[in-house]
Amino acid sequence: MENKRRKFHTDIESVQKGYANGVAADIPLTEEQKQEMINEAAYHYGKFLTALKCDWENDPNSMETPMRVAKAYVNDLWEGRYTAMSEITSFPSDGYDGIIIERNIPITSMCSHHHQTIQGVVHIGYIAGIDGQVIGLSKLNRIVELFGRRGAIQEQLTAAIHNAVNKITEGNLGVIVTVVASHSCVSCRGVKHQGAAMVTTKASGAFRDDSNNARKEFFDSLKINNGGHQI
Ligand SMILES: [Zn+2]
């Protein structure tokens, strides 16, 4: 068995380039191109504030806001649209045939519909199988960051993370991804309900097959006390 390498954007992306939850059409951007994009976005955000009758250019708290907002989109909130992730390496499982779970991976994203934040946790489980491929643990966090740091709808985001793990651990016996998240577009606008959380799960292989306990073991594992960490 050998280690395998996959280029992230050619092998794992599933959303059309240019969409809010896909990568930018001309990625990877040079630093110069990124700065040009930030400058242009800041210019138009200033127009947006002016349209809202905000005298931002004379308000000491707002005069730098268009640039702050543009930078936040490019460097943080939508970072995953402009970042070319390095290759992902998978490794032989060396005979381990149990479930591999990483739980409580923090996620910050942004709803594609309302451009309000989504915050929560992601739990990922997979069964590589005796002759399968495993992923370095922190790469699961990197995958969550890459897909989270974009526009998103939670259902698609869950499927995208599942698809990435499924492809990287080719030959796996099952993959399951659960996202538990609060949406500011629900808590701060519209119905304005605090505390509601959305739970989405995408499962394949043994995690969809009722003849075994994989799904139950996954969800039971999320409840195991972890030195006081709440799930
Ligand atoms: Zn929304």
Give the pair of three-digit tokens for residue 179.
């996202």
Task: Give the tens place of pLDDT for each residue, 45-74.
Answer: 999 999 999 999 999 999 999 999 999 999
Q: Ligand 1 centre from 185 Cα, in Å? A: 5
Residue 221 is which amino acid? S
Q: Ligand 1 centre from 191 Cα, in Å? A: 11
Q: Ligand 1 centre from 153 Cα, in Å? A: 8
8 Å CB contact between 197 and 120: yes
Q: Ligand 1 centre from 77 Cα, in Å? A: 15
* Burial (Cβ within 10 Å: 0-12, 13-18, ≥19) of residue 86: exposed
Q: pLDDT digit of tens for each residue in the chain (231 aa)? A: 567 766 555 567 878 889 999 999 888 888 999 999 999 999 999 999 999 999 999 999 999 999 999 999 999 999 999 987 777 888 899 889 999 999 999 999 999 999 999 999 999 999 999 989 999 889 999 999 999 999 999 999 999 999 999 998 989 999 999 999 999 998 888 988 888 899 999 999 999 988 999 999 999 999 887 655 554
Structure-derived torsion over alpha carbons of residues 133, 137, 142, 148, reported in degrees to the nearest 10: 90
Residue 158 is which amino acid? T
Q: Ligand 1 centre from 110 Cα, in Å? A: 8
How do beta strands 133-135 and 88-92 pair? antiparallel
What pLDDT was estimated at residue 28? 82
What pLDDT was estimated at residue 1? 56
